[in-house]
Structure formats: C-alpha cells, structure tokens
Amino acid sequence: MANWYSADLHFGHHRIIEFCKRPFASTGEMNAALIANFQACVGHDDDLWILGDFAFGRAEDTAQFESWFHSLPGRKHLIIGNHDDEAVISLPWASTEYMAEIQDGDQSLVLCHYPMITWNGARRGALQLFGHVHDQWPGSRNSVNVGVDQWQFRPVQITDIAKRAAKLPVNKHWQDVEHGNELS
C-alpha cells in the first residue's frame, strides 16, 4: 500500500486549459490523460489523496462526476477545495476533510487545498502539501504544491515530494525563525 497525492484535477473544466495553459486540445483529452496517468501510477490498494478541486460542473452532472471518480484507482480521500461542491463531496470518498494531518512513513504531513504560512509540526519537519494555485507557485522548502499542473498531470509520492522540497527556496518566515528572529 502506498500513498499518492494530487490536487486541482478540474475534471470537466474547459476553461482550466486556457487559464493554466494545459497542453490539451479539449476537456475530453485532458480528462482521458488524467485518468490514464493516475491508472498508470496508483494501485488498487493504494491511498489517493486529492487536495481539492476534483471536478468542475453543475450539480446535475453527478453521473459524470461518478464516472470520473470510479475511473481513478485506489482508496480516494478528498481534501475539500473551493470548487468541490456538494455533488463532489457526496461521492463515496474514503474520507472528506478540509484539512488532514497524516503520516507517510516517517514523514508528518499537513494536507490542505490552500498553501499556508505555518501549520502543526512545521518547526519539527512536517511538510504541508497543497494545491489551489496551479502553476503559479511550486512551494517552498517545507510546503509543496502537489497540483497536477506542477507534476506533469500525474499523482506524486512522498519520495518525489521530499526531493522537490529540498530544492525549493527556504520560506522567509522559517529562515527568520532559524536565525532567532521570530516575532513574539
């Protein structure tokens, strides 16, 4: 069993292709590529954490949401994002939360759709995983964007997240804390 992380799939959202300059000619092509990429990575017994914005559409699109949902392998968990309405939240997720604190091996993680300045365990090495900002900000040393726009439209595992985190710039706030300049 492995954990996989992703965010901002935006199934069915035709304007996201333009907004984020996604390399797809249509939403059908984008949806198919996302499903194929996730099926190539995630195993049946794996946990797949979607950090918000699973799909975009109207409440009457429930059957289409269900089709996309069931096309993805693994036990699926939703960290609720700003585009996840009741039709998405009511899908048969293993869990739905606005934020979660989990362990992946020895790594403590805080999962939220939105990037945060600080979180529980940040000073003790916990990583914060987020989405929401798509291709605009990859993150910092202790906070990593797991959105599909950052990871070639694939889910990602903690080993790759940790490698990327080590290459990202240090968050200025944490640099100040490390040098004893924390505000009281």
Structural domain includes residue 184? no
Residues in the chain: 184
Is 151 among the domain residues? yes
Query: What average pLDDT does range 114-133 have in this prediction?
Result: 92
The reply to whether 84 falls in a domain is yes
Tell me what the mean pLDDT of segment 149-171 comes to.
89
- Domain membership of residue 131 as a residue range: 3-178
Q: How far is CA 123 from CA 32, 127, 162, 176, in A?
A: 40, 10, 16, 12
Residue 120 · residue 150 · CB < 8 Å = no
pLDDT band at 62; cut points 50, 70, 90 = confident
Alpha helices by DSSP H, listed for the chain, are: 14-19, 27-41, 62-71, 86-89, 158-167, 172-178
On whether residue 73 sits in a domain, the answer given is yes
Single pTM value for the model = 0.89
Flag whether 183 is in a domain: no
Confidence (pLDDT) at 171 = 60
- pLDDT for the residue numbered 184: 40
- Name beta bridge partners: 108: 103
CA angle 46/51/57 to nearest 5° reads 110
pLDDT of residue 167: 81
- Position 126 pLDDT exceeds 70: yes
CATH of the domain at 90: 3.60.21.10
- What does the pLDDT read at residue 180? 47
In a domain, 63, yes or no: yes
Report the domain count for the chain. 1
> Tell me, what's the pLDDT at 174?
47
Domain membership flag for residue 147: yes
How would residue 71 be classed by pLDDT, with cut points 50, 70 and 90? very high
